[in-house]
Chains A and B, each alone.
Chain A
């Protein structure tokens, strides 16, 4: 299956029965798949008139502090940009694209199988925290095909949705809103959201470390770039270079502590992204000046090849500026 189809099927298997969306390359296969599959399982597929309408339909379906899953398959920007894969939306996804003190929980899969399991977890965590969860892929992850296995749902016990608007039968009325004209009340609301975010930071960080034990240079990458980097690391190891990788699986919350732990004995970090440097800012925060952080990026839809990463890493080993 392509990543787009696999994510759609994972969503259905995680219990998703309502989909509101709008076509755009490179993710149109996702709504297309939903339009075929959701009616088969008694669900509702609705093509909205715009993305703005789609997210507001979700709001109506689920309420504010939206327990929903958003799939962002990134392409090159800014503006209309292009349709080739990119990691252009890292800031928007992890630092918040709107106003107010909020964050999304953001997963960054690097294989289609991982996209499937993260999508299924995303549905659980959206309900657990009553917060939107994003699956952040790039055009490559959306369009690439790999065999996948659908496993059972995690079986996590989810909180009851007492806040939902279902008609106030036999209970006090519920109100869903984000307008708080009294600053004290709005501060309280933000602090409550923040409590949830702190809980996510404490409990939900996921990260993969790859051959870091003896590494002198550690590559940092997520999504498609991480799987290209794995090939680069194999080649570099064959040539005798001690290289490893840290791969954030959640880009929010970011695995800062992993960097704190290993920074001391390292020569260097090399952050590789399909952007001109977005995640690199979080890496610098994690490393906190204890080792140099270098950056290599391609942008506009250009995907770096493994030999570009090999060349760049070898250059750092040789200390060539």
Chain B
């Protein structure tokens, strides 16, 4: 009897067959794969340019088989703006951590959104500085211990965590703003849907788009991978509600 073999799951073409540098249980790798899947589904690998600034995000250019820039800390939306204005036919996206997007790069983030720049930001919110070894990020939760908030983040000294999605959703130029997570399969599927909508917003010329993705950093949080997914569910999602904060009729 002939058994028909149907391929139901495979590596996206845009995702290079290499080992990533991400720690076990890290959310970055999942998102890298989702971006690759979306690029393949839209068939835009040859007209997409990515921008990866420093942070654990920076090595994305080793994993995606597309043209990519490396940007200085925080400056990716400015680099993407330059690229998109010169090459309006391209799909241009930035891939940024929370230290990058919500701390040193807030000016670029806010102004790219305010201008309605036709670029997409994939924003990895892991509530910590991963690459430099676990310092406090602007998104670090109150009470969360990091290497520069050893007693736990205290709002009297270090203020309050920033909700970037809600902040950017107030801007006219921003046309798709969502927050998702990647700690379980259901949320991974939702994240993929949001990334697709963000790219669609750009490709249809509607305006700026951003997906904030709650992402586990077991190493920076000093947790096991299962503990870290639980922490996303129980702690991060409390403060950072998931949802689509802004969406156009056209997508």
- A interface vs B, CB < 8 Å? 22-25, 28, 31-32, 35-36, 39, 44-47, 49-51, 79-80
Known interface pairs A23-B148, A46-B158, A49-B103; 4 further A-B residue pairs with C-beta atoms within 8 A, sorted by A's residue number: A24-B132, A28-B132, A32-B150, A80-B73
Assembly CA distance A22 to B105 (angstroms): 13
The reply to whether B72 and A80 contact each other, CB–CB distance below 8 Å, is yes
B74 proximal to A (CB < 8 A): yes
The reply to whether B158 and A47 contact each other, CB–CB distance below 8 Å, is yes
Q: Across the interface, which residues of B come within 8 angstroms of A31, CB to CB? A: 135, 148
The reply to whether A35 and B129 contact each other, CB–CB distance below 8 Å, is no
B19 proximal to A (CB < 8 A): no
The 30 sampled A-B contact pairs (Cβ below 8 Å) are A22-B104, A23-B99, A23-B129, A23-B133, A23-B148, A25-B132, A28-B132, A28-B135, A31-B148, A32-B147, A32-B148, A32-B150, A35-B147, A35-B148, A35-B150, A39-B151, A44-B157, A45-B157, A46-B158, A47-B135, A47-B136, A47-B158, A49-B104, A49-B106, A50-B74, A50-B104, A51-B104, A80-B54, A80-B58, A80-B73
Contact with A along B130-154 (1 / 0, CB 8 A): 0011011010000000011111000
Which parts of B59-107 form the interface with A (CB within 8 Å)? Answer: 70, 72-74, 99, 103-104, 106
Among A25, A44, A46, A49, find the residue whose CB has the most chain B CB atoms closer than 10 A: A49
The reply to whether A80 and B70 contact each other, CB–CB distance below 8 Å, is yes
The reply to whether B135 and A23 contact each other, CB–CB distance below 8 Å, is yes
What 8 A-B pairs are tightest by C-beta distance, nearest first? A50-B104, A23-B135, A35-B148, A49-B103, A23-B132, A32-B147, A36-B150, A47-B148
Distance from B216 Cβ to chain A, minimum over Cβ atoms (Å): 20
Chain B's interface size range is 20 to 34
Q: Across the interface, which residues of A come within 8 angstroms of B135, CB to CB? A: 23, 28, 31-32, 47
Distance from A259 Cβ to chain B, minimum over Cβ atoms (Å): 38
Q: Across the interface, which residues of B come within 8 angstroms of A28, CB to CB? A: 132-133, 135, 147
Q: Across the interface, which residues of A come within 8 angstroms of B149, CB to CB? A: 35
Q: Across the interface, which residues of A come within 8 angstroms of B104, CB to CB? A: 22, 49-51
Q: Across the interface, which residues of A come within 8 angstroms of B150, CB to CB? A: 32, 35-36
Q: Across the interface, which residues of B come within 8 angstroms of A25, CB to CB? A: 132-133
Q: Across the interface, which residues of A come within 8 angstroms of B136, CB to CB? A: 47
Distance from B102 Cβ to chain A, minimum over Cβ atoms (Å): 8
Distance from A53 Cβ to chain B, minimum over Cβ atoms (Å): 8
B132 to A, closest residue via Cβ: A23
Distance from A251 Cβ to chain B, minimum over Cβ atoms (Å): 26
The reply to whether A49 and B70 contact each other, CB–CB distance below 8 Å, is no
Assembly CA distance A28 to B136 (angstroms): 11
Distance from A2 Cβ to chain B, minimum over Cβ atoms (Å): 13
Which parts of B171-197 form the interface with A (CB within 8 Å)? Answer: none
Assembly CA distance A25 to B157 (angstroms): 24
Assembly CA distance A24 to B72 (angstroms): 13
The reply to whether B106 and A79 contact each other, CB–CB distance below 8 Å, is no
The reply to whether A79 and B103 contact each other, CB–CB distance below 8 Å, is no
Among A47, A50, A51, find the residue whose CB has the most chain B CB atoms closer than 10 A: A47
Q: Across the interface, which residues of B come within 8 angstroms of A35, CB to CB? A: 147-150
A31 to B, closest residue via Cβ: B148
The reply to whether B157 and A46 contact each other, CB–CB distance below 8 Å, is yes
Assembly CA distance A79 to B58 (angstroms): 14
Q: Across the interface, which residues of A come within 8 angstroms of B106, CB to CB? A: 49
Distance from A97 Cβ to chain B, minimum over Cβ atoms (Å): 16
Among B103, B148, B158, find the residue whose CB has the most chain A CB atoms closer than 10 A: B148
Distance from B10 Cβ to chain A, minimum over Cβ atoms (Å): 34
Distance from A73 Cβ to chain B, minimum over Cβ atoms (Å): 13
Distance from A45 Cβ to chain B, minimum over Cβ atoms (Å): 7
Among B58, B99, B150, find the residue whose CB has the most chain A CB atoms closer than 10 A: B150
Assembly CA distance A52 to B173 (angstroms): 27
Assembly CA distance A24 to B54 (angstroms): 11
Assembly CA distance A79 to B69 (angstroms): 13
